[in-house]
Structure 1
Amino acid sequence: MDDTHHRVRIEQIHTEHSLALLRYLIRFAGERHAAEDMLQETMLRAWRHRDALPGDENGVRGWLFTVARNVAIDADRMRRVRPAEVALTDLNDAVAAPDSPDSALAAQDMVRAFANLSEVQRDVIRHLYFRGDTVEEVATRLGIPAGTVKSRAHYGVQALRAAVSS
């Protein structure tokens, strides 16, 4: 089959099955955003294995749900082994309120703490929190996996939090 035929077939499969798959994945993920990511991964795998997809609709549906289940299980495993993400905004509790006498000292503490991070942690935090790049953009820009970006951000923010709260 040519690419045009495959593209049309995948679009039809997506149209026919995506809503049911999304509902199924929401039960695994507990929230829509994560389920949408898993649905996207499921459809990406369908595209990658387009030549091996069953010919009948019941077979395709079963194949998709099996893949979606595997994607959900993989995502759950990754979530369990990956450190929890920490937002830089969580540091707000540790830093003095704006315009208070202590705010200048707190800002100096933050600058010192930031300087004490490893260079790779500073790069990730600079891109994520100061430039507003997404995890995927940072991963591409720095040539590292997205999980590494998240890990460096997590440990960097933890170090910042510890430095400013001590």
Structure 2
Amino acid sequence: MKPKSVELRYYRKWSLSDESLLAGMASGDVRSATVFVRRYQARVYGLARTIVGDPAVAEDVAQEAFVRAWRHAGAYDPRKGRATTWLLTITRNLAVDAARLRREEPVDPHELVTTLLAAQPPDRDQQDEASVRQALRDLPPEQARAVALVVFYAMTSKEVADLEGIPLGTAKTRIRRGLVKLRKRLEVSDG
């Protein structure tokens, strides 16, 4: 019998697609889960750390994100988006929840938007994050802010309107138009 490390290298060598790994996870395959976790552990932890700020909390968020991915792998539908997006959305939601629970002093949303729209993406992520950042930078500033507040702060349209000092309908329009432009730019389909 081969040692596990040799077996795992052999398994990883096949460069299985994310969808195949999620299907394996849905059927309870530990090796698929191991390869999937190793493939995305840095990105998931990096996103969690960016949102919560605390390394220990980020580790907990990352672990919970992978546990949820394992539990709900069977519900993943590749027609609705990429596996990476699905996993990072799980991570983002968990991190936002964790940040809300432990936030002692509020972070200025405009500071977050400025950071997100910074010209240089962090080294930890490559093309996906860079393309999203570029797509955000290409939006008109008011749409970029509205989208970032909704996506990264989980604000409602009403909260965006109040924060920006604009009518609710204007906030909804900025969010909708910004998301439509992002979808087109990133070639994301709704179904």
TM-score range, shorter chain: 0.3 to 0.5
- Give TM-score, length-normalised by structure 1: 0.38
Greater relative contact order structure (CA < 8 Å, 6+ sep)? 1
- Give TM-score, length-normalised by structure 2: 0.33
The structure whose Rg is larger is: 1
